[in-house]
Structure 1
Amino acid sequence: MCNFKRCLLVLIILIFSTINCFADEKKEEPIDKADLEKQISYALGYDIFDKLQENFDLDLDAFTMGARDNFEKQPKLTEEKLKQTLVSYQRIARQKQIERIKIESKENREKGLKFLEDNKLKTDIVTLPSGLQYKVIAAGDGALPKATDTVECHYKGTLIDGTVFDSSYQRGKPATFQVGGVI
């Protein structure tokens, strides 16, 4: 009983964590409470079914029957069978997610390698033996820091499509770190 409730709670949390909490807030017209409850029920049903369908082709009739039976507290399966079935679903969903991640990983690796190959041909790009590439924006004429020194500098990290994922410029303050401690 306790394990089933825990599995069900995890599934519900998973479902609701996928709901877009950051939707644009627009001025809404007043809605009748009963109408709002119907709209919310519909939207949740639509969203939950959509998210669950990403991993498994759901049978709409069986899904609806399960929801209705739960609402009426008249389950057609034993608690143990419900638990086993949800565990099977989680296993299938996890496997599909792993497969998607493997495909995306392979595609991203290929894109990344192509980017590095193309990028190293540019005249203003320096490529180290490790494969690290960088561009000197303004060369300094001071002493070179040792691996044990702490330095302060601005930087901007971007993905290969130009998306900025980290920037000391955006924070308005240079970063301070030990030279040997940087990735």
Structure 2
Amino acid sequence: MKYIALALLSLATLSVTAQQKKKTVKKTTAVKPLLATKTDSVSYAFGRDIGGTLKNLEITNWNKELIGKAIVSALDGQNSLIEEDQLRMVIQSAVTEAREIKEKENLAKEQAFFTENAKKTTVKTTEEGLQYEVLVEGTGEKPTRENEVTVHYTGTLLDGKKFDSSLDRNEPLKMKLDRVIEGWKIGVPLMSKGAKYRFYVPSKLGYGSQNMGVIPPNSILIFDIELLDFVKDAV
């Protein structure tokens, strides 16, 4: 979202500023070995890193013993059991298959959630499939998709994991509604100034099958949004 771009801009600015200042030499502190030797610590660190990367692929069927042997053979410069030009194809096929399985699982969970959530008397559903609850009703006019809105919001996944919050930064988000996800374009215009709504955004109105890092493909997004203000005809 917008804060990511701002964060990158801030880092770039700091980098330029730092380069303009007189360079200072900092002493580097040697890292003490956490295991028996430095070699052991480095080896373990790289092993953990490789394992973490593989775990994030969400492939469930591993031959862990063979993974270890393959790493050793590569380190020793031995010939691969699979032709080098086939390795990438094998990896890509496995990653694609794992992603498709995960997407199907998430879509099944999504359908079950929205079916059950719709039974709550406090939950309303739009024709597009967006569900919402009115936490605090506002007063006055409502924004349109063409307006610039100022909001406080907190975004969480279905498991309660928070992936973003303007409240944590103590800085409201100001943005034109035509630049946000479809769920916001549909939901925020339902609100008047001062209103607080909770939106349950299906993946098709969020990021779909895209992998957004902290937001897995086909994820339900839950947003608590407070509409602070909006400006008509914003440039």
Normalising by the smaller structure, the TM-score range is 0.5 to 0.7
Given candidates 71, 75, 95, the residue that maps to 1:67 is 75
Tell me which residue corresponds to 1:123.
Answer: 121
**Secondary structure at 1:88's aligned position in 2?**
helix
User: Residue 75 of structure 2 aligns to which amino acid in structure 1?
Assistant: A
2:143 matched to 1:145?
yes
Summarize the alignment of residues 83-162 of structure 1 with structure 2, pairs less than 5 Å apart.
85-162=83-160
Q: Partners of 1:139 and 1:50 in 2: how far apart? A: 45
User: Residue 136 of structure 1 aligns to which amino acid in structure 2?
Assistant: V
Relative distance call for 1:114 and 1:59 in structure 2 (3 A) is closer
User: Residue 96 of structure 2 aligns to which amino acid in structure 1?
Assistant: I
> What 5-or-longer segments of structure 1 have no aligned partner?
1-28
> What 5-or-longer segments of structure 2 have no aligned partner?
1-30, 182-235
TM-score, reference length from structure 1: 0.61
Q: Partners of 1:145 and 1:38 in 2: how far apart? A: 60
Does the 8 Å CA contact 2:124/2:132 hold for their aligned counterparts?
A: yes
Q: Please provide the CA RMSD for this pair.
A: 3.6
Q: Partners of 2:107 and 2:153 in 1: how far apart? A: 24
User: Residue 36 of structure 1 aligns to which amino acid in structure 2?
Assistant: K
TM-score, reference length from structure 2: 0.49
User: Residue 38 of structure 2 aligns to which amino acid in structure 1?
Assistant: L
Tell me which residue corresponds to 2:164.
Answer: 166
Once the two structures are TM-superposed, the CA of residue 90 in structure 1 deviates from its matched residue by: 1.8
More helix by share: 1
User: Residue 140 of structure 2 aligns to which amino acid in structure 1?
Assistant: G
Report which stretch shifted further, 99-108 or 172-181.
Answer: 172-181
Q: Partners of 2:165 and 2:89 in 1: how far apart? A: 39
Once the two structures are TM-superposed, the CA of residue 67 in structure 1 deviates from its matched residue by: 3.3
Which structure ranks higher in relative contact order (CA pairs < 8 Å, sequence separation ≥ 6)? 2
User: Residue 156 of structure 2 aligns to which amino acid in structure 1?
Assistant: T
Per-residue CA distance 1:79-134 (angstroms, 9 max, x = gap): xxx6x822212211111111111111100111111111111211222211000112
Per-residue CA distance 1:26-77 (angstroms, 9 max, x = gap): xxx9559x93224534664686589779787438667645533x3xxxx6x5
Q: Partners of 1:122 and 1:106 in 2: how far apart? A: 26
Q: Partners of 2:52 and 2:152 in 1: how far apart? A: 43
Sequence identity of aligned pairs in percent? 32
